Amino acid sequence: MAQLIPELSRTFSEYLLLPNRTTHDCTPDRVRLETPLVRFGKGETRSPITLSIPLVSAIMQSVSDDRMAVALAREGGLSFIFGSQPIDRQCEMVRRVKKFKAGFVPSDTNLRPDDKLSDIVRLKKKTGHSTVPITEDGTSTGKLLGIVTSRDYRISRLDPQTPVRAFMTPIEEIVYGREGITLSEANDIIWDHKLNQLPILDQEGRLVSLVFRKDYDAHKENPGEMLDAHKRLLVGAGINTRDYKERIPALLDAGCDVLCIDSSDGFSDWQKETIEFVRREYGPDLPLGAGNVVDEEGFRFLAEAGASFIKVGIGGGSICITREQKGIGRGQASALMDVAAARDRWAEETGTYIPICSDGGIVHDYHMVLALAMGADFLMLGRYFARFDESPTRRVLFNGTYVKEYWGEGSNRARNWQRYDDGGSGQMHFEEGVDSYVPYAGKLSDNVLTTLAKIKATMCACGALDLDQLQEKARLVVVSPTSIVEGGAHDVIHKESDMGS
């Protein structure tokens, strides 16, 4: 008969942290969240790449593109641009991140002069943006012919079929800057001319980017942002175990800083062969994550192969149905604690520390602290980041509430069969993910700020000023179903929200 593992498969919701003594010097403003991203060994005091915050975005079509990568890197985390797309498209996203300059925003809302007022209204409703650059070909990099803002039209007085050229502000009346201008110079022009935005054009008059007055404070240099040696933002990318020999060199040529094998199950010969190829062709130092695994055997398999970090978790994602479809996986808390213990034993035996990433199972912000206390060096999040403006999906009105689309890589929509590759025919025979919505939550920066505040407050309650201290001092207790109910609001009559009172 099959081997039976006696311990229960547990999730984060089955645990709480017990408070420790909080001393006078243990305050949220003193908490540090730096954490290693890739392996380091004897003689090295820290990882070659250290995250400012322990958050990375999932390798998913509905989560991580270049906009997400820019926003998260500026907050101190890292995005892995999804690999379930043609190589050239993924590389172009990487290039856009590496070319990003703080304060210079690529336009993502554009129309042609022969488009109609109805198109302006539709775009504004879809994106929430009131500034629409009008380019010759309707692209974000076309020759700029004019700009439309909410001051250029009144819906009640114009026929919806009125062409944009009839009411746009033409290029002859627009103040603009030339490519190469500094952010300080651009902001001086904005203030001197009392503008709300400044288009930046190249020498041929093509639109390069926009600088907005409202972003002045937001685009001040962020001391925690993730930068390379050339002061460019760091960006990661997902690869698979099929076309890696073509995809990896192209991504590296585009400037990608970190690679990660995107797979639902990392305990496979295909993943080992991919890692061995990278180590043979590019040496031991190229950052390459691998996974996913749920126990010590899987961790050691990938550690011996040469992984730079290892992802933990199978079937715990909010849109993942691997456990339902295949009966494969493990409760995320149990998997994480098992692999964390294996990582520590590996470090003692070899002198090399290999960071682990908890991937899946995070529902509430407090789950993040639990995962970090249980041994995760950083967390990979999908649903969390999919809710924000910067994710690549549409914001739609659903049952009176704004939501964003969110689908799994194993869904029929994504059809990322490479992620679930078992060496078979190269196609999907059944789904391992669903197509869904998540509540729209606004800007990434605002939400991450709140989440980090919660994490820091909880760490102080545990008497910890950094993640090492948290893992050292944290005390966990298993909760009963009844105590879970007790932990929320109960036995009261909830007031109806009345914004007018």
Strand partners, 116: 163
Is residue 51 helix, strand or coil? strand
Beta strand 197-201 with 378-381 is unpaired
Integer angstrom CA distances of residue 209 from 170, 179, 226: 17, 9, 22
Is residue 477 helix, strand or coil? strand
Angle at 471 between CA 466 and CA 476, to 5 degrees: 130
Integer angstrom CA distances of residue 499 from 255, 401, 473, 495, 496: 49, 16, 43, 12, 10
Catalytic (active site) residue 320: yes
Catalytic (active site) residue 91: no
Number of H helices, E strands in the chain: 14, 21
Burial (0-12, 13-18, 19+ Cβ within 10 Å), 401: exposed
Which one of 260, 320, 357, 460 is the catalytic residue?
320
Contact call for residues 354 and 346 (beta carbons, < 8 A) = yes
User: Long-range contacts: 461-465, Cβ < 8 Å, 24+?
Assistant: 461/17, 461/19, 461/20, 461/22, 462/17, 462/19, 462/20, 462/373, 463/20, 463/21, 463/22, 463/23, 463/26, 464/20, 464/26, 464/31, 465/25, 465/26, 465/30, 465/31, 465/32
Which one of 67, 96, 330, 419 is the catalytic residue?
419
Percent of the chain that is helix, strand, coil (3-state, to 5)? 35, 20, 45
For the residues of 378-420, what is the DSSP string, one character each?
A: EEEESHHHHTBTTSSSPEEEETTEEEEEEE-TTSTTT--GGGG
Residues 6 or more apart whose Cβ sits within 8 Å of residue 180 = none
Residues in the chain: 501
Structure tokens at 245: 């020999």
CA separation for the pair 394, 168 (Å, rounded):
26
Q: What is the DSSP letter of 37?
A: -
Task: Give the residue among 279, 286, 274 at the shortest CA–CA distance from 247.
Answer: 274
Q: Where are the beta strands (DSSP E) in 266-377?
A: 288-293, 309-312, 356-359
CA separation for the pair 337, 299 (Å, rounded):
12
Integer angstrom CA distances of residue 160 from 118, 298, 484: 5, 60, 54
Question: Position of tokens 């998997």?
Answer: 335
Which residues are catalytic, by number? 320, 419
